[in-house]
């Protein structure tokens, strides 16, 4: 896998850096370099790709800037995201207030619920019912991270039921942001929250777009006050 020998004609060094960055990005996006794992060392990449160490370093740095990788002094370089959109969104949304996040999620989730009600398949309904039950079960753990993960898994599945790939990609890229900033959002009435989520799934199953959106609004209402 020699980048330099693969090129049909001499290239400027900046072009070679771009090629190397594209190859490394592919390793991340395809999961060959998994999120959370350390990537091969620079000498190993030099040997594998047949390019200079400075080229490797600059190509990796471009992925650091893109939010895919993070360098840790004395430990190496780690994959922190498989989507450049995630890193960009995290930086852009970092300064939002609590209400900003709530309003953003309300807008995204209510629209998704409406679309999902119109487009859901039988398999979507089955999955939503399963995730709704998992969400309710997560509340017995008392673990805020587990609760947030279960809640977001249900809402992401609702987005997936829209069968709009762009919506799914955008929402999935924001899950880390939502998890960090909203894991402590809990209703004072847990039974009511569970009931509303139950009714949300039922509205989608019944193909009632208006009621599905209303259920999302009711879920978020206690937090918006």
| pLDDT digits 0-9 by tens, 49-86 | 999 999 999 999 988 887 788 888 888 999 877 776 66
Query: Which candidate, 181, 25, 35, 166, places its Cα nearest to that of 94?
Result: 181
Q: 185 and 112 in one domain?
A: yes
Average pLDDT, the chain: 85
Mean per-residue pLDDT, 161-188: 76
Residue 151 belongs to domain spanning: 87-224
Is the pLDDT at 11 greater than 60? The verdict is no
Question: Which region among 87-96, 149-158, 192-201 has the lowest average model confidence (pLDDT)?
Answer: 87-96
- Confidence category of residue 111, pLDDT binned at 50, 70, 90: very high
- Are 157 and 63 found together in one domain? no
Q: Which residues of 101-116 are buried (b: 16+ CB within 10 A; e: fewer)?
A: bbebbbebbbbbbbbb
CATH label of the domain that carries residue 134? 1.20.120.530
Distance from C-alpha of 53 to C-alpha of 39, rounded to nearest angstrom: 15
Last residue of a domain, one of 43, 62, 82: 82
Nearest 10 degrees: CA dihedral of 173, 145, 189, 162?
A: 20
Report how many domains make up the chain: 2
CATH number for the domain spanning 18: value is 1.10.10.10
- Report pLDDT for 104: 87
């Amino acid at each position: 896998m020699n980048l330099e020998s693969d090129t049909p004609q001499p290239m400027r060094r900046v072009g070679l850096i771009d090629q190397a960055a594209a190859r490394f990005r592919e390793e991340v996006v395809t999961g060959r370099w998994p999120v959370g794992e350390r990537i091969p060392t620079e000498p190993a990449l030099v040997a594998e790709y047949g390019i200079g160490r400075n080229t490797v370093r600059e190509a990796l740095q471009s992925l650091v800037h893109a939010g895919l990788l993070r360098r840790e002094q004395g430990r190496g370089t780690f994959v922190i995201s498989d989507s450049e959109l995630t890193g960009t969104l995290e930086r852009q949304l970092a300064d939002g207030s609590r209400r900003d996040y709530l309003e953003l999620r309300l807008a995204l989730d209510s629209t998704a619920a409406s679309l999902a009600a119109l487009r859901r398949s039988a398999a979507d309904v089955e999955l939503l019912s399963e995730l709704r039950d998992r969400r309710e079960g997560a509340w017995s753990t008392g673990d805020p991270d587990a609760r947030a993960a279960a809640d977001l898994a249900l809402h992401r599945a609702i987005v997936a039921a829209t069968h709009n790939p762009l919506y799914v990609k955008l929402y999935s890229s924001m899950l880390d942001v939502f998890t960090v900033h909203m894991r402590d959002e809990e209703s004072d009435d847990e039974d009511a929250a569970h009931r509303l989520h139950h009714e949300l799934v039922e509205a989608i199953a019944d193909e009632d777009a208006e009621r599905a959106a209303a259920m999302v609004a009711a879920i978020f209402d206690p937090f918006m006050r």
